[in-house]
Amino acid sequence: MAKTRFAPDRGLTSRMVFVMFLIGLLAVAFIAALIAFVPAQSLPIVLVLAFGLLFAQFFFSDKIATFAMGAREVQPQDSREAAALHAVVDRLCSLADMPKPRVAIADTPVPNAFATGRNPKNAVICVTTGLLRNNAQLTQEEVEGVLAHELSHVAHRDVMVITIASFLGILAGLVGRMAFWFGLGGDRRDDRDGGVPVQLIIMLVSIVTYAISFLLIRALSRYRELAADRAGALLTGRPMALASALGKITGDMARIPQQDLRAAEPYNAFYFAPAFSKESMMSLLSTHPSTERRIEQLYKINAQLGGPAPEVHGHRH
């Protein structure tokens, strides 16, 4: 990671390292299973396809994400809101001692922001028009808190980490589909398992690997969101501004048309706060910690800094 002034979090870092270690163990076991059961002539095809998908995701994540979300890169001279956005990003990047990412705006009423790109030199930070035009009635300090959170993702190379961690899931999903649709493994039977068809073994191993990988990556994503909240709050020195922004943005979702929320839902993993979230969803499947958990952490940071703990408005339970 490039050296910046974003504060590290040893506790969260140790948990993230442990999750990555578990993903690594799972990857070793899955690849061993591939070598044991996938026909030798098919294995190179599977690996080439998987690495091709990883390559595209790794090197073009910024372009893919901005295109999918309809975001456009802006310069300070383009408009008043673009100039104001650049000014905030300039100030925060100077404060964090990090390269300035490209700046983009996505035309959606959902008040949100996201960052993408494999490293700080190839990053994009994007803010929606719903946030820029103050639909959520955020103050300047609250907007800075949101952008500091996103810049922390850039500084800590979170997109790169999640992309690499996701490779196992990509590989398992690809192998499972090939076994189902193209009969990978053929009609061979494995004598070690009582004559069970190899195709079925490959499918079952792939499904189990994908499911475990999915849960581990979601846990990693939640840890990285908490780490970004903490780093952004400590950078600005105003954790309650970030907590207030989180409450307002989450609460403001209730006033956004359902079709707009559903259109943004596939990109929840990128966003500062999920665009569409159900209380009934299991926390294990979520890309973000609960709003309550995030605000609770920010309250603790505020207390550690010796600041008052004003009431956070805007969040609806």
* Mean of all residue pLDDT scores within the chain: 80
Write down the pLDDT at residue 287. Answer: 83
From the candidates 142, 144, 150, 225, give the one annotated as an active-site residue.
150
**Residue 38: what pLDDT?**
76
Give CA–CA dist 287/136, Å, rounded.
22
Residue 212 lies in a domain: yes
Kindly give the confidence (pLDDT) of every residue in the chain, 317 residues in length, as a single tens digit, with 9 standing for 90 and above. 445 567 667 777 788 889 889 999 999 998 888 888 777 777 788 788 888 888 887 888 778 888 887 889 999 999 888 999 999 999 999 999 999 999 999 988 878 899 988 888 889 999 998 888 765 578 899 999 999 999 999 998 888 888 888 888 888 888 888 777 766 655 555 555 555 577 788 889 999 999 999 999 998 999 999 999 999 999 999 999 999 998 888 775 555 545 454 555 545 555 676 655 554 445 667 888 888 899 999 999 999 888 665 554 444 43
Could you read off the pLDDT of 88-124 as tens digits, one per residue?
999 999 999 999 999 999 988 878 899 988 888 889 9
Catalytic: 150?
yes
Tell me if 315 is assigned to some domain. no
**Full residue range of the structural domain in which residue 212 is found:** 7-306
Does residue 314 belong to any structural domain of this protein? Answer: no
pLDDT of residue 75: 95
Contact yes or no for 289/273 (Cβ under 8 A): no
**215 burial class (0-12, 13-18, 19+ CB within 10 angstroms)?**
middle
Q: Which helix (H) or strand (E) holds 189?
A: strand 189-190
Residue 238 lies in a domain: yes
Residue 2 placed within a domain = no
pLDDT at 261: 46
98 token code pair: 């990090």
Other beta carbons less than 10 A from residue 241's beta carbon: 24
Integer CA distances (angstroms), 262 to 72, 274, 276, in order: 21, 11, 7
Q: What's the total number of domains in the chain? A: 1
Residue 312 placed within a domain: no
Q: What is the pLDDT of residues 162-181, one digit of tens each?
A: 888 888 888 888 888 877 77
Q: Please indicate, yes or no, if residue 311 is contained in any of the structural domains.
A: no
Q: Model's pTM, two decimal places?
A: 0.81
What's the rounded Cα separation, in Å, for the pair 106 and 125?
A: 10
